[in-house]
Structure 1
């Protein structure tokens, strides 16, 4: 399985860079064969599904990637595929179904937050970032919340959260970067 995955990844990577159309197709063929072999060994392996879907995307065969992931019923991979393709509404639907089904882990909450950022859904950014921090209050998740607020224009909320973040984690070195981003969003370019 490992060797088939490595061969498939390598052949896909080389094929993407190849200029000669015949060699490109031959390399993609080698990759497809390797991934099919890996799929026969373990059709539910998440790494295989992920890399095989990447292979299809590299070939411009998004429908095949979507079909592979839908058939596998690996919803975490399916929403990520939609997200990577800029199909945020489809990604949101898959994530919301996972959320409703009780999969409220940090990956699902972060996914919902990223989709909300991309679609500039301020209310969803507030909701899912709050839930993410309630679920797992870490330095990273607090930073993700502040950055999300800044990206969608929730400047006052970002300012408030940044202030409490500074009080809670005074030695965190990324505070300066966030302060500069906040000042820029407030139009204070000289201070930033």
Structure 2
């Protein structure tokens, strides 16, 4: 090379490479939605306390998850897409077994907390371990396995802290499941 720069990957800046039209929509609405790991199904949470699972091949609802009395705040899929987790402002996390043939699907478990739930998710590799974040900022790891059953608080909210607005707002596991991340607002001000 003689020191010159050759740009060979520039395309036409007016060539649009993203969708410009809506091809279809899913009936029955949701406040938010999440794909399962295969991309074939979508679960959506609704403000009326229900959740719905759509099949993207047929574009139709295939399961209704009705078990909360207040708005659903998060949904998550297990690794194998058999289970759907819903959390709610009603202080409950419900794990639904989509392999059950009953309607609504069988509740695998219901875990009740002392405050509304902001978000909840499955462990990336084990559908019997849940990560739950409450509206108070408290984060919990819930282990549903018989030999380890328990609820473990990950961090305590500092009641007498000089910092205001430092409550946790989201919680996630790393994909390798070795780390848990908690994020709050108001940091670095």
TM-score normalised to structure 2 length: 0.28
More strand by share: 2
Structure richer in helix, relative to its length: 1
